[in-house]
Amino acid sequence: MSLKNITPDLQTGKTGKSARSADTGLFYRAGAAVTGLRGRWVTVAVWIVGIALLVVLPPKVSALYSDGASTGIGDQESVRAAALLKSKFPQGNALPAILVFNNPAGLTDQDYAKAKQVSDWLGSAQKPAAVVSVVSINTVPQAKSELVSANGTTLEIIAALQPPAATTDLGPNVTAIRKYVEPLKSASLKINVTGPAGVIADTTAIFSGANFALLTATVALVLVLLLIVYRSPLLAITPLVVVFVATEAVNGLLALGAQAGLFQVTAQSNSIMEVLLFGVGVDYTIFLVSRYREELQRDGDRLAALRHSYSRVSEAILSSGATVIAALLTLLLAQLGLYKSLGPSLAIGVAVMLLVGLTLVPALLAIVGRAAFWPFIPKINTGTTGGQPEKVGLWGRLARLVAGHPARALWASTLVLLVLGLGNLGVIDVFNFLTGFRQPTDSAEGYKTLAANFQPGALAPTDVLLVAANGVNLSDKQAAIGQVSQAIAAVPNVSKVGRPTISPDNTVARVQVTLKTDPYGEAAMDTIQPLRDTVKNSLAQSGLAGSSLVGGVSAQNADTRTVNNADKLLIIPVVVVLTTLILGLLLRSVVAPLYLIVAVLLNFFATVGAASFLFVTIQGDDGRSYAIPLYAFIFLVSLGADYTIFLMTRLREEAVEHGLEAGTVLALSKTGGVITSAGLILAGTFLVLTILPIRELYQLGVIVGLGVILDTFVVRGIVVPATVLLLKNLNWWPSRLRG
C-alpha cells in the first residue's frame, strides 16, 4: 500500500481490512466483567468500601514519616563513628544550633553584650527544653579564637539540642530561640540560627505546607490541561476523581505497611508519590478514553466500543505499569536510604493506580456512556465526502515526513539528542544540603555568613575516634595519641588538629580535625580515605593497640558518595534488563526491545545534559544533587516505556492489517495526539515540583518534565518510527506479523 492511499484511514480507520475483529480474549472478558450491567456497579461499590476502610482503619501516613530513612547509608564507617560518638561521649549525639552574630563593620561592645545576654538565657531555666549545653565566649572563654572570626565581624554561640523522638519536634525549640533573638537584631547586627538543628527546623517548616501547595497546583494544572484536551467537563473531572481514590488507597496502604515495619515512608517520597499518581493516573485514563472515542466513531453500540477499546489498550497499560513498578522495586536493592525508602511507596502507588485504571475507570465510563464526552459527543464517522481536502493533522504530516525520509529523520534527531547530552560535561554531583534551599531561610543565611568569615573546615570538623584494645587505658597513652595526631596534621588538606579528648571510661579518644576546604565539597570528601589510611598506619607505628573510625559530615558525604556510586552501578543495569525483557515479552521480539531501550537511554543522556546546563551554566548552581541521576534514570526509563509500549502495540496492530510502512504511519498518526496530551500532562505534573524550594525536588521536576517532552516529541515521534521503517520486518524477529 502506498503512502498516498493512507489518508482516508487517518480519518475513518476503514482503509484495508476491518480493524474490528472478534474479541474473545482475556482482556476483552475482563473489560466485559467490569463494564457489565451489574459488574460496573459492583466495581464502584468495592472501591467505595475499600477506600472507606483504608481511610478509617490506619493512622495518618504523615504521622509515620521516618525522617532518618532518607539519610541512611548502611553500615559505613561514618555511621559506626556516629554511633560510637553517641555512646561514649555524653553530648556526642546532640544536634547543634549555631547562633551567628554578624556586624559587617565589626562587632561592637553592644553586640558582645547582646551575645552574652543570649548565652546567659540559653543556660538559664527559661531556655528551650531541648537545650542541654551552651558553648560561647562567656561559657568557654579560652575558645574565643574559634568562636570569633579573625576579622572581628562574626561571633557564634553553639547550643546543643537533645535530639527528640521525631525531628519535627525540634521546630518549637529552634523557633523559641529565633523568637528570643529577634528583638536583639538591629540595622547593623544580623543574627541567624543555623547548624543541623536550624536546617532541620527549616526543612520541616518548608515541607509542612508543601504537600498542600503541591496538591493544589497539580490539581489546577491537570484540570486546565484536561479541559483543553477533552473540551468536556466530565472527562476532565474523571481522572481527578480516579487519582483521589488511588491516593486515599495508597496512603492507607503505606500507613499500614509503615506501622507494621515493612518499609519506611518519608515526607519527600510521599510528595513525589502524589505527583507520580497524577501523571500515570491521567495517562492510563487518556489511553483508554482516546481509544474509546475512536471506537465510538465506528460503532453505535457504546458498550461494544468500550469493551473493544479496553481489550486493545489494557495490555499496553498493564505492561507499562509493570515496567514502572519493576523499575521502582529495583530501588529496594539500594543501600542508600534515600532510594530504598522511595521504592516501596512509589511502587505501591503505581500498582494501585494500575488497578484503578483497569477497573474503576472503565466502570465509570460504562455508567456515564457517551455523555462523558458532552458537549462534543462522538458520532458515527461515515468518512469524507465531496472531494473535501483530508485533515490529517500535525502527527499525520510528521508521520508521512518520517516515512518518506526515515534515515534522515533518524540521524537528525539522534544528533540533536547527542548535542544536548554534551551538557553533562564538567557537571559535578553536590552533597551540600545546606545550599540546597532555593528560597531564603534563616539557616541558609547563617551558613553563608559563617562560610564567608570563618575557615571553611571549621563549619563541620571531622571526628577521628581512636578505640583502645581490651584492657588498655587511653589516659596512659598520651604520647602514642600525640604521635597519631602529628601524622594526621601531615595529611594534605588538613588545616588544624584539635587537642584529643577521652571518653569517661578512657576507651575512646576523640580528635577533631579541621580541613582547609569546604567540608561539604569534593576536596573534603577526597581527603577522607587518605585520612583513614594515615590513622590506621600511624596507630600501628605508634604501638597503640586498637582500631579507629573517622566520622563527621565530610566522612558521611564521602561514604554516601561511595554507596551512591555502588547503587547506580547495580540498579541501572537491572532496570535496563527488566525493561528490555518486558518490552520483549510484550512485542514478542528480540530486536525491537534493543533499539527501544537504546532510544530511552539516549533520551535520558540528552535530558540530564540539557537540564544540567540549565542548572549550572544558566542558573549558577554548584551542580546536580547527587541523587538526581538515578532518580531521573528510574523515572525517564520507566515512564518513557509507557509511551513506547502504547505506540508499539498500536503499530503492531496497524501493521498486521495494513503492512509495516502504512501501519507505522497510521499508528503514529492515531497515537501522536494521545501521547502528546499524556506527555504534556505528565511533564506538567512533575514540573509542579519546581514550586518547592528544595534543590533536589526542583531539579527532579525539571529533568523529568523536560525528559518526558523530549521523549514525546523526539523519541516517540521521530526516532522510534524511523527505526521501525528502516528495520522493516526485522523489527519482530524471531516472531512474524500475522493478520
pLDDT at 402 over 50: yes
Which neighbouring-strand residues pair with 465?
510, 549
Average pLDDT over residues 592-614: 93
Q: How does strand 624-625 pair with strand 501-502? A: unpaired
User: What fold, for 461-551?
Assistant: Alpha-Beta Plaits (3.30.70)
Average pLDDT over residues 669-677: 83
Count Cβ neighbours within 10 Å for each residue of 291-314 and write b for 16 or more, e otherwise.
bbbbbbebbeebbbbbbbbbbbbb
Distance (Å, rounded) from C-alpha 122 to C-alpha 131? 7
Q: Which three cell numbers stand for residue 194?
A: 543555623
What pLDDT, on the 0 to 100 scale, is given for residue 376?
78
Q: Which three cell numbers stand for residue 227?
A: 479541559
What pLDDT, on the 0 to 100 scale, is given for residue 164?
60
Least reliable range by pLDDT among 167-171, 558-562, 621-625 = 167-171
Please tell me what DSSP assigns to residue 34.
H
Q: Please, which pLDDT band fits residue 738 given cuts at 50, 70 and 90?
A: low
The dihedral through the CA atoms of 367, 284, 216, 713 has a sign that is negative
Global pTM?
0.81
Please enumerate in sequence order all residues whose Cβ is within 8 A of that of 663, keeping only pairs 6 or more positions apart, or say none. 651, 652, 653, 654, 655, 656, 657
pLDDT at 1 over 80: no
What's the pLDDT tens digit per position in 515-557? Answer: 998 888 899 999 999 999 999 999 888 878 789 999 998 999 9
Question: In this structure, are residues 564 and 431 in contact, taking their beta carbons and an 8 Å threshold?
Answer: no
What pLDDT, on the 0 to 100 scale, is given for residue 387?
39
Distance (Å, rounded) from C-alpha 243 to C-alpha 686? 15
Distance (Å, rounded) from C-alpha 344 to C-alpha 147? 45
What pLDDT, on the 0 to 100 scale, is given for residue 109?
94
Domain ranges of the chain: 21-76+224-378, 94-207, 395-438+562-739, 461-551
497 phi, psi to nearest 5 deg? -115, 120
Average pLDDT over residues 32-51: 92
pLDDT at 210 over 90: no
Q: Please, which pLDDT band fits residue 214 given cuts at 50, 70 and 90?
A: confident
What pLDDT, on the 0 to 100 scale, is given for residue 3?
45
Average pLDDT over residues 653-668: 85
Among residues of the chain, what percentage have pLDDT more than 90?
36
Most confident listed range (19-28, 90-99, 606-615): 606-615
Question: In this structure, are residues 627 and 338 in contact, taking their beta carbons and an 8 Å threshold?
Answer: yes
Question: In this structure, are residues 293 and 373 in contact, taking their beta carbons and an 8 Å threshold?
Answer: yes
What pLDDT, on the 0 to 100 scale, is given for residue 91?
65
501 phi, psi to nearest 5 deg? -120, 145
What pLDDT, on the 0 to 100 scale, is given for residue 706?
93
pLDDT at 93 over 70: no
Residue 568: exposed, middle, or buried by beta-carbon count in 10 A (0-12, 13-18, 19+)?
middle
Question: In this structure, are residues 642 and 323 in contact, taking their beta carbons and an 8 Å threshold?
Answer: yes
What pLDDT, on the 0 to 100 scale, is given for residue 43?
94
Count Cβ neighbours within 10 Å for each residue of 32-49 and write b for 16 or more, e otherwise.
bbbbbeebbeebbeebee
What pLDDT, on the 0 to 100 scale, is given for residue 383?
53
Most confident listed range (201-210, 497-506, 691-700): 497-506
Least reliable range by pLDDT among 703-707, 721-725, 731-735 = 731-735
**Is 21-76+224-378 a CATH 1.20.1640.10 domain?**
yes
What pLDDT, on the 0 to 100 scale, is given for residue 216?
82
Q: How far is CA 234 from CA 6, 227, 297, 367, 378, in A?
A: 34, 9, 19, 12, 14
Q: Please, which pLDDT band fits residue 710 given cuts at 50, 70 and 90?
A: very high
Least reliable range by pLDDT among 417-421, 430-434, 576-580, 603-607 = 430-434
* Residue 478 or residue 21, greater confidence: 478
Most confident listed range (53-67, 359-373, 408-422): 408-422
pLDDT at 730 over 70: yes
User: What fold, for 94-207?
Assistant: Alpha-Beta Plaits (3.30.70)
pLDDT at 397 over 70: yes
Q: How far is CA 377 from CA 235, 236, 302, in A?
A: 11, 14, 12
Please tell me what DSSP assigns to residue 617.
I
Q: Do domains 94-207 and 461-551 have the same CATH topology?
A: yes
The dihedral through the CA atoms of 379, 384, 388, 389 has a sign that is positive
- SS3 at position 384: coil
Please enumerate in sequence order all residues whose Cβ is within 8 A of that of 431, keeping only pairs 6 or more positions apart, or say none. 520, 525, 557, 560, 561, 626
pLDDT at 601 over 70: yes
* Residue 515 or residue 163, greater confidence: 515
pLDDT averaged over the chain? 85
Q: Which three cell numbers stand for residue 515?
A: 580541613
pLDDT at 382 over 80: no
What pLDDT, on the 0 to 100 scale, is given for residue 389?
41
Average pLDDT over residues 482-498: 92
pLDDT at 462 over 70: yes
Among residues of the chain, what percentage have pLDDT more than 70?
92
Q: Please, which pLDDT band fits residue 209 given cuts at 50, 70 and 90?
A: low
pLDDT at 356 over 80: yes
pLDDT at 384 over 50: no
Size of the chain in residues: 739
User: In the CATH hierarchy, which top-level class contains the domain 395-438+562-739?
Assistant: mainly alpha
pLDDT at 739 over 60: no
What's the pLDDT tens digit per position in 43-63? Answer: 999 999 999 999 888 888 877
Average pLDDT over residues 164-192: 84
